[in-house]
Amino acid sequence: MDGMEQNDSFGAELCRVCGRRYIDRNSGNPGEFMCRECRQEYSKLRVPKWLVACVAAAVIAAVVLCVYLASAYRNYYVGGRQAVTAREDLLRTAEKMAESGKQWSALGTIEEYLQDNPTNRDMAMEGTRMAMKYGLYDYAAYFIQNYISEKTSTRGEIKELNGYVDKINRYYDTGDAIQAVFDGLAEIDAESMSEAEIEQLRQSIRDRILNFTKDKQYDEGLAYISAAYYASADEEEAKEYLLKAADFPTAAPEACGRLAVYERQRGDFSKAEEWIKKGEALNGENTELARAKATILLAKGEYEAALPISEEIYSLAPDYMYVADTYAVNLYALGMTDKMEEIISKAAETNYEFAEDFYQLINGEISVREYYVSEEE
Amino acid sequence: MFIIPGFLVSFLTFPGVIMHELGHQLACWICKICVFKVKYFQFDTKTGGFVQHEKTDNPWKSLLITYGPFILNTLLGTILVFPVALMWTYQSFGATLPVWVKLACYALAYLGVSCLANAFPSSGDAGVLFTSVVKNKAIPLFIRVIVAPFVGIIYLCSLAKFFWFDFVFALGVPQLIYSLISHNPPHFWTMW
């Protein structure tokens, strides 16, 4: 019949989907309920075009991005290998500089590199480690703050950095606490005080500073060196604190410099040089240490050898304690009196005060050795 | 536990819901099972989408249809989150990328995470598999025993969804890829 499906079995049921054709009993499915056409129609994959387009677009975008990132990574890797080589070279140079006593210059080299390559976290980490090793916490804080982000650090690095940050915070907290002690002195009129009162005040300041050494919140080295610097008039007592400070990287170079000066004053140059050597291992460019080295050479009569050192520290820190004295003495010892007068005039402009015996020296009343070695006076 | 209504999660991750239904549909097509109606996504509080298809007594087909979304969504989701994992790897070396690349990576990551979060078959899917295979005595026992754990897994995952398991999985996949490529431990939330 026209318009009717031919069916093998008489009296067969109509397709339950279209209701127009007979159920396909030859499909092989005993539970069949559709005609062949309906089965063919509903077995087709009918996915809307917009969906196919969206999925295809997303997959293509993902593939394109992966290719882009992979090629960017390859370029970065090739360029990175060269950069890594350059970085490794620079790091080796910096390490050699640091080992030869030029720790500040070494860190300065790393700082320059980081200014040109601010995203180089590895170099920033190396710089931080070096700064922490030599007790140059200002540099470490600078590297961490400017070049290291927690986001790009591994867990191990974050743990390491947290340890550094704790130490740096202790260092700055100690500086602030000591400063607070000295700020309290500004209101005291020392001229109206008797010697006993001054001594009592000195002891109280010293004790307050020494209290910081008992508290784990503070940096012991900084507290000991401050106690030796500001609170102790007795040289033996100062030496005791300096010896303790020499065990801490934050204060060791300065403490070694002071201890070298102490030994030089007693005429023991070999001991003084030992302290210089020990200090140079941590920071050979420390002003106090370099000045101590120059004065030892001057006391030994090696004026030419002392000149580049005294010149350098004067160019870097002309107002630092005894720096202008050392340079002027060096110039006097070499007979460069015009230049010495120039230094004295410049010092007068900044209210820098030379030691009393400095004038005795330039007036020819004492020798350079006598100026630097007390015991022989 | 911080609870957000399921339909809201479905709305937010609607691309994944669409892919979930497409997963069922594709599995039906592979198994030559007729599909009568497909709703890829709807604003409904009960179900985000559905696929109406004919029943089958073939346990393997049932299993494939139930697990179709898991296969498709996991595959597609992994492809779509791959760029963001590569981006993290690239950034972990300290390199910087153009903003458009980052935005594109995160846009694809949204689609990928949506797919991954909707990869797991629903408890409704598990119910269908349970009824059509595990409870069906016409199917040989050893096949029912094999299929039963698959049903159990779906129910377990449905329970774990209470603890945001679907999102842990969705956000964990890109982190895993990142860890495998870069050999760095995953950073979890900080990376996003």
Test B36 with A42 for CB contact under 8 angstroms: yes
Task: Tell the burial category of A196 from Cβ atoms under 10 Å away from its Cβ (0-12, 13-18, 19+).
Answer: exposed
At residue A309, φ and ψ (nearest 5 deg) are -70, -50
On the question of pLDDT at A107 being above 80, the answer is yes
Q: How many Å apart are CA A12 and CA B10, to the nearest integer? A: 45
Top-confidence residue, A163 or B44:
A163
The radius of gyration of chain B's CA atoms, rounded to the nearest angstrom, is: 18
Task: Give the span between the Cα atoms of A307 and A332, in whole angstroms.
Answer: 11
Strand partners, A215: none
Nearest Cα of chain B lies from the Cα of A212 at a distance, in angstroms, of: 38
Closest CA to B173 of B106, B85, B110, B90: B85
User: Is A348 in the B-facing interface, judged by CB distances under 8 Å?
Assistant: no
Distances (CA, A) of B7 to A64, B24, B41, B70: 33, 20, 11, 19
pLDDT (tens digit per residue) in A238-284: 888 999 999 998 899 999 999 999 999 999 999 999 999 999 888 88
Q: How many CB pairs under 8 A join A and B?
A: 88
Quick check: A28 contacting B, CB < 8 Å?
A: no
| Interatomic CA distance for residues B57 and A163, integer angstroms | 65
For residue A85, the distance in angstroms to the closest alpha carbon of chain B comes to: 15
pLDDT value of residue B191: 62
Contact residues on chain B for A65, CB-CB shorter than 8 A = 83, 86, 101, 104-105, 108
Whether the per-residue pLDDT at A83 is higher than 80: the answer is no
* Nearest neighbour of B80 by CB, restricted to A39, A62, A73: A62
Q: Residue A25: which residues within 8 A CB-CB, separation 6 or more?
A: A7, A8, A9, A12, A32
Q: Which residue of B has its CA nearest to A51?
A: B18
Q: Which residues pair with B38 in a beta bridge?
A: B51
pLDDT digits 0-9 by tens, B89-109? 888 776 778 889 999 999 999
Distance from C-alpha of B118 to C-alpha of B115, rounded to nearest angstrom = 5
Are A154 and B18 within 8 A, CB to CB? no
Convert the pLDDT of each residue in B122-164 to its tens digit.
888 898 899 889 998 888 999 999 999 999 999 998 888 888 8
What's the gap between Cα A182 and its chain centre? Answer: 27
Q: What is the ipTM score, two decimals?
A: 0.88
Specify whether the CB–CB gap between B173 and B79 falls below 8 A: no
Chain B residue closest in CA terms to A72 = B90
Angle between helices A49-99 and B59-92 (to 10 degrees): 40
Q: Which residues is B53 bridged to in the sheet?
A: B35
With beta carbons under 8 A apart, name residues in chain B contacting A150. Answer: 190
Q: How far apart are CA A193 and CA A199, in angstroms?
A: 10
Query: Chain B: nearest CA to A105, how far in angstroms?
Result: 25
Chain A CA closest to residue B52: A42
pTM: 0.52
Cα–Cα distance between A36 and A31 in angstroms, integer?
Answer: 14
CB B6 within 8 A of CB B44: no
Answer whether A253's CB lies under 8 Å from A279's CB.
Answer: yes
Residue with tokens 């005291």: A188
Q: In this predicted structure, what is the pLDDT of residue A150?
A: 66
Among residues A302, A353, A282, which one has the least CA distance to residue A134?
A: A282
**What percent of chain B has a predicted confidence (pLDDT) above 90?**
49
Cα separation, B69 vs B129, whole angstroms: 14
Alpha helices per DSSP H over chain A: 36-43, 49-99, 103-116, 121-133, 137-147, 155-183, 195-211, 220-226, 235-245, 252-265, 269-283, 287-299, 303-316, 323-333, 337-349, 356-362, 368-372
- A128/A168 Cα distance (integer angstroms): 11
Q: DSSP letter at B140?
A: -
Q: Are A280 and A101 in contact (CB under 8 A)?
A: yes
User: Which of B22, B89, B184 is opposite residue A154, by nearest beta carbon?
Assistant: B184
Nearest to A73 among B35, B90, B187 (CB): B90
- pLDDT for position B4: 58
Segment A181-236, tens digit of pLDDT: 888 777 777 677 787 888 788 888 888 888 888 888 899 998 998 888 765 566 78
Pick the residue of A51, A63, A126 with the most B CBs within 10 A to test the interface with B by mutation.
A51
**CA distances from residue A367 to A261, A272, A357, A370 in whole angstroms, order as listed:** 18, 20, 10, 5
Contact A57/B at CB under 8 A? no
Nearest to A80 by CA among A128, A125, A121, A140: A121
- Partner-chain contact B82 A155, CB within 8 Å: no
Q: Is B111 exposed, middle or buried (0-12, 13-18, 19+ CB in 10 A)?
A: buried
Residue of B nearest to A30 (CA): B57
User: Which residue in the set B33, B54, B95 is minimally distant from A119, CB to CB?
Assistant: B95
- pLDDT of A293 > 70? The answer is yes
Mind telling me how many Å the CA of A46 is from chain B's nearest CA?
Answer: 9
Helices (H), A120-234: 121-133, 137-147, 155-183, 195-211, 220-226
Within chain B, residue ranges assigned H as helices are 6-12, 14-30, 59-92, 99-117, 123-129, 141-160, 165-182
Residues of A in contact with B36 (CB under 8 A): 17, 42
